[in-house]
Each structure stands twice: as C-alpha cells, then as structure tokens.
Amino acid sequence: MRPQTHVLFFLLYICGGLSLDFKVVDLTHDHSNTTIYWPGNPEYNFTILARGNTTGGFWYESNYFGTAEHGGTHLDSPAHFYKDRHRTHNIPIENLIGPGVIINVKNKAAMNADYQVSIDDLKQWESIYNQIPEKAIVIMNSGWHERYPNASLVFNTDSPTDSSTFHFPSWHEKTIEWLISERSVNVIGVDTPSNDFGQSKTFPVHILLGQANIPGAENVANLDAVPEAGSNIFVAVTKIYDGSGGPARIFATVPIKDTSSGCSHGLSFVLLMCALCIFIQIV
C-alpha cells in the first residue's frame, strides 16, 4: 500500500470521527439520454454491455457511454475559445475549488430572457456580503436550472436545434472584463447552456475567459440549495487529455448553522480537500 493511501485513510478516519458542520449539495444534472447539448453535437450514448447474474454466481454490470464534451453540467476549458490556453487535463486542480459566489438575477431574467448580468449586479452582491473573495467561483443563478432537461424551455424556443432562435440569460462581456481585471476568480459559471447569452453570435465572454485562462461552468444545477455567499464549490471535471472541456460533477459544501460540532467549517473543508486531492493522486 502506497504512503498516500495510508494518509487518505487517516484523513477519512478523522473526518468520520468528527461531526462535520457542513452539508454537501449536488449542483449537477444527471448525464443521461435527456442531457442537453448545443446543436451539432452527437447525442448521449449509453449501452449496456453486461447486466445480470453470471455463471460464477455473482452479479455483474458494465456499460459503455459516449458523450460530447459540452453537454449537460460541464466545464469549458480555456482552450475552448482561445488558442494555447489550458486544455482540460492541464487546468490546475486548485483552480477548480473556491468560495462560492452566487449572483441571483432570477427576477430580472424572468422579465427579460436575454438578460446579461451587469457590474451593478456584482456590486449589489458586494454591498451585502463584502468584496468577492479571492479565487472565487462565481455563478449566475437565473432560475433557468429549473427548466432542465426540457430543451425547448432551456433554449427558450420552439426550435431547439436552431441556435439563432435561442433566448436565455448569461453574462455581459463588460462584467467579465471587470471580474478579470478587478477581482480574483477561479471559475465563472451559469445555470444556462452558455456563458454568453442566447442571442450572442460572437461569444465574447467565452473569448475573454479563454484569454484569461479561466474555465467556465455551464448548466449548473440546484443553485437555490446554496446560499449566495458562504459556500465552497468544487468543480470535478473529467480529466480528458487534450480536451476542450468535459462533463463535471459540481458540488458545494454549505455550513450548517447552530451545530454542536467541535470541528470548524474551515477545518472540515481543509480535511475534505486534502482527502480529495490524495484520492485523485492515487487513482
């Protein structure tokens, strides 16, 4: 057994022995035959290779799945829209973890499907919660995640295979320029299919994020279950060599109030992060 494995078991033992004072919230849509892709991508393919009792007397399951990189809850690597930037496999893993910043524009998006998150929206958040923390993961909550997996509702059109008809909210490029120049962010994300709004034809937000080597998360789920501030978010993207993105299991740790645990949220977070990093190194 490798030394890292002993350390992993020790950390998991500590975590198990402590009453951790946070809950874990899944922010990921299922990857399935209902997964939504941008037009032009192949559909999800799930094939059962084996499922049943064997002649040896034990149960056995094995499947094949095939998917485009950019479908469902996924991450765009910076190389997706900018040459010579990080591809999926060489995004530093520490850049996929950070304090959660949820920008709630649900009311504005309900009134204007083409709404683009403004600098004023970010400053409004900061007026309540203080400055966006260093290395944050900043995600727009437009309420669009509730429409998933109905493609007509998500793309907001009767023609979900025609991208020229799409109407959904996302970021304004000036807001992204401000975040890049004035704040420190690890990941930018949305609960819609794209970090550019539905009617974009030139995809300036994708280009800006790529140039700045910042990954972008799309189709993030379940955002009403996390607070606008105070969580930590993990973007566990599949490590596809040379990839321009990939499916991601995104989740958040959220502090539980009024806990009797002696273990602080900060310590719990550090222990969990260490265990995850060691696990990734082992596998």
Mean pLDDT of the chain: 91
Mean pLDDT (whole number) for 48-57: 96
131 found inside a domain: yes
Classify burial at 36, counting beta carbons within 10 Å of its beta carbon; exposed 0-12, middle 13-18, buried 19 or more.
buried
Residue 140 is part of which domain span? 22-30+70-255
Report residue 231 CA to chain centroid gap: 14
**Interior CA angle at 168 toward 134 and 249, to 5°?**
50
Structure confidence by residue, pLDDT tens digits, 133-146: 999 999 999 999 99
Output 82 or 260, whichever has higher pLDDT: 82
Closest CA to 252 of 117, 126, 73, 125: 73
Residue 85 inside a domain? The answer is yes
pLDDT for res 263 = 47
Tell me how long the chain is. Answer: 283
225 in any annotated domain: yes
Long-range contacts of the stretch 153-157 (C-beta < 8 A, 24+) = 154/36, 154/192, 154/193, 155/36, 155/193, 155/198, 156/113, 156/198
Distance in angstroms (rounded) separating the CA atoms of residues 19 and 139: 29
Say what the pLDDT of residue 21 is.
85
> Residue 74 and residue 237: Cα distance in Å, rounded?
7
Q: Confidence band (pLDDT; 50, 70, 90) for 78? A: very high
Q: Which two tokens stand for residue 187?
A: 């990941």
Domain membership of residue 93 (yes or no) is yes
Q: Look at residue 261 in the predicted model and tell me its pLDDT.
A: 45
pTM equals: 0.85
Give the number of other CB atoms < 10 A from CB of residue 40: 9
* CATH code (residue 168): 3.50.30.50
Any idea of the CA torsion for 26, 31, 33, 36, to the nearest 10 degrees? 80
176 assigned to some structural domain? yes
Mean pLDDT score, 17-46: 90
Residue 252 clears pLDDT 70, i.e. is over it: yes
How many domains would you assign to the chain? 1
Structural domain includes residue 100: yes
Report the pLDDT averaged over residues 26-54.
97
Residue 137 located in a structural domain: yes
Q: Give the alpha-carbon dihedral of 201, 202, 205, 209, to 10 degrees.
A: 140
Q: Does residue 230 lie within any of the structural domains?
A: yes
